[in-house]
Amino acid sequence: MIEIEQRPEKVLIFGVQTENYSDEKFQVLMKEMKSLTETAGGIPTVEMTQKLPRLNSRSAVGSGKLSEIKDAVNKEEIDLVISMNALTPSTNRYIEDQLGVRVIDRIQLILDIFAMRAKSREGKLQVELAQYDYLLPRLQGRRDYLSRLGGGIGTRGPGETKLETDRRHIRTMMSQIKKELAKLSEHRELTRSRRRSGSEFNIGLVGYTNAGKSTILRELTESDTYVEDQLFATLDPLTRKLTINGHDGFTLTDTVGFIEELPTTLIQAFKSTLEEMRYVDLLLHVVDASSADRMMHEQTVYNLIKELEMDHLPILTVYNKKDKIEGNFEPTLFPYVTISALEKDGVEALKQKIWAEIVRTSEKFEVEVDPQEADLLALYRQKTLIESLEFDEENQVYILKGFRRSDKELDKER
> Are 303 and 393 within one domain?
no
- Does residue 309 sit in the same domain as residue 388? no
297 and 390 co-located in one domain: no
The verdict on 316 and 337 lying in the same domain is yes
Categorize the per-residue pLDDT at 413 as very low, low, confident or very high, splitting at 50, 70 and 90. very low
How many CB atoms lie under 10 A from the CB of residue 386? 17
Number of structural domains in the chain: 3
Q: Is the residue at 90 inside a domain?
A: yes
Count the neighbouring beta carbons within 10 Å of the beta carbon of residue 212. Answer: 27
- Inform me whether the pLDDT recorded for 132 exceeds 50: yes
Q: Which residue has the higher pLDDT, 270 or 22?
A: 22
Q: Say which amino acid occupies 168.
A: R
Min mean pLDDT across 4-18, 79-93, 231-245, 301-315 is at 231-245
Q: Which residues are annotated as a binding site?
A: 207-214, 232-236, 254-257, 320-323, 340-342
In a domain, 135, yes or no: no
User: CA 66 to CA 98: how far, in whole Å?
Assistant: 8
Average pLDDT in the 6-35 region?
94
249 or 319: which carries more pLDDT confidence? 319
Boundary-marking domain end, from 114, 136, 167: 114
- pLDDT of 194 > 80? The answer is no
Give the residue with greater pLDDT, 184 vs 365: 365
**Structural domain that includes position 269:** 199-360
**Residues 6 or more apart from 293 whose CB is under 8 A from it?**
28, 31
Q: Shortest CA distance to 240 belongs to which of 257, 227, 225?
A: 225
Question: Do both 213 and 325 map to the same domain?
Answer: yes
Question: Which residue, of 114, 135, 162, is where some domain finishes?
Answer: 114
Annotated binding-site ranges for GTP:
207-214, 232-236, 254-257, 320-323, 340-342
pLDDT tens-digit readout, 52-92: 999 999 999 999 999 999 999 999 999 999 999 999 999 99
User: 363 vs 78, 141, 164, 248, CA distance in Å?
Assistant: 61, 62, 58, 18
**Mean confidence (pLDDT) of the chain:** 85
Residues 320 and 381 in one domain: no
Q: Which residues are annotated as a binding site for Mg(2+)?
A: 214, 234
Cα(17)–Cα(177) distance, rounded to whole angstroms? 37
Cα-based torsion angle of the residue sequence 45, 69, 140, 112 in order, rounded to the nearest 10 degrees = 20
